[in-house]
């Protein structure tokens, strides 16, 4: 009885966890027109534009080198950066928003779909 309850609880928890997944979970294959629009910082004395001063080309490079991870993997394995650049791009022809943080993590959001990225090979993009 205890095992059956535990399995039922696990099944319900798993199903609830899947309810938040995007309707189409494959990341975009082709990115174009990557534009940096803005810089934001919640700690302007600690994290400045110099920490994430990416050009349009460098932002495109970040996404080409970065790997797709879950938001949980990002939260568990990468630091939180209080500043980021954001902009727009075309992902497989669809206009989308993106963000790249000073911790070399980011996301692309296209409507209800969102993909999280981390780039362990992008150090030169974030150095002065």
Residue 128 has pLDDT above 80, yes or no: no
Domain tally, the chain = 1
Confidence (pLDDT) at 126: 86
| More confident position, 40 or 126 | 40
Residue 11 in tokens? 């099944």
Q: Which residue has the higher pLDDT, 17 or 60?
A: 60
| Per-position DSSP letters for 83-114, written without gaps between them | EEEEEEEEETTEEEEEEEETTSEEEEEETTEE
Domain ranges, residue 47: 24-126
11 within domain boundaries: no
Instruction: Render pLDDT for 45-101 as a digit per residue (tens, 0 to 9).
Output: 999 999 999 999 999 999 999 999 999 999 999 999 999 999 999 999 999 999 999
**Position 5 in a domain:** no
Q: Is residue 10 part of a domain?
A: no
Task: Write down the pTM of the prediction.
Answer: 0.79
Note the pLDDT of residue 112: 94
pLDDT at 22: 43
- Domain assignment of residue 68, yes or no: yes
Residue 80 host element (H or E): none
């Amino acid at each position: 009885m205890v095992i059956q309850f535990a399995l039922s609880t696990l099944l319900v928890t798993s199903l609830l966890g899947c309810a938040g997944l995007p309707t189409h979970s494959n990341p975009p294959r082709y990115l174009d027109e990557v534009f940096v629009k803005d810089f934001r910082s919640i700690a302007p004395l600690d994290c400045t534009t110099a920490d994430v001063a990416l050009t349009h080309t460098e932002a495109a490079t970040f996404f080409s080198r970065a790997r797709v991870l879950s938001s949980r993997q990002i939260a568990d394995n990468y630091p939180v950066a209080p500043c980021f650049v954001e902009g727009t791009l075309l992902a497989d022809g669809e206009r989308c928003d993106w963000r790249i943080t000073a911790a070399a993590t980011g996301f692309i959001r296209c409507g209800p779909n969102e993909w999280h990225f981390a780039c362990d090979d992008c150090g030169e993009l974030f150095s002065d």
